[in-house]
Amino acid sequence: MDAYIDERLKKYMKYCQSKKQEEQIIIWLKLLHENFRKKIVYLGSYLALQEKDMSYLNNAFNSAVTWGQLTITNSSCDHSIYAWNVLPHIFCANRFRDIENIFPKENGLSKNGLKSACSITNLVMYLYYQEPAWKQYVIEESKGFLQGKHTSEEMAVISTFLSLFEKDWEKFSLELANLCKAHKKSKDYGENPFTRKISFFAFGLYNFARYLYKEEAKNIILPQNEFLFEDFRIYQESNNYQTGQSFCVFEEPLLLLNDLEKIDLPIMHLTAGRKRTLDIENYRQEVIKKIQALHYNQSS
């Protein structure tokens, strides 16, 4: 944890010192980017094991969800960009209302991005909003995806979502186990023997099923002997699935990082036009306004 804080401090000294608050906000959002989110979760996993305390991981997911949304500052895709980067952590953190920030209903279904990400986005949007007009398109898109050649992890995620869509708990249980196995073989950038030990997407999908279908989710047979899976599930259940706190509370001169976790995150809209992409500039301005309002309220 000390090294984690020290890394932030070095960035502050190099890039943010003597800058105005608005400049600092923009710098932090660009500097930290998505690796900050990943590092939070993996450090949280490490500390949860070292200290035998799953609250570290619960808090890590909570902060990762916030930073995962704040630090997407460049994209040529639509809202599908969140499907692999942020969505699994939202599920793991039990912050399901954040779906309305990253996949707002008014954005409509995703059509611009990685095929698996578009399919995941659309499955989640239908399951969450239950918009009847989307149903046929979403099913056909997902089943069509499974007819193509993709990574075993992509196939497992889509298959798991489809079985959740159908409320086929036997198949859902099987696909969760398949997803855990597929993640162990992941060759994605940044993966290593430690990060491949647990599929946070698999754990998150279990949480999403429980959120959607309540008591019916008791029919799910969870993957056996998966790293951290059962320990973390027991922790969350015993704490009534409460969201975590901030993973780290920073001291001077890093107080702005705390403020960025305190604000109500804006909704990410899409730009107008034929090729709709994330409206990142307006999102960034919303973040700045919220920070300024926070400081105004604190001083008044």
Q: What is the pLDDT of residues 220-266, one digit of tens each?
A: 999 988 889 999 999 999 999 999 999 999 999 999 999 999 999 99
Q: Is 5 left (phi over 0), alpha (psi -120 to 50) or beta?
A: alpha
- For residue range 18-28, list pLDDT tens digits in order: 999 999 999 99
Q: What's the whole-number mean pLDDT along residues 272-284?
A: 91
Hunting for tokens 């943010």 — which residue is that? 16
pTM of the model: 0.95
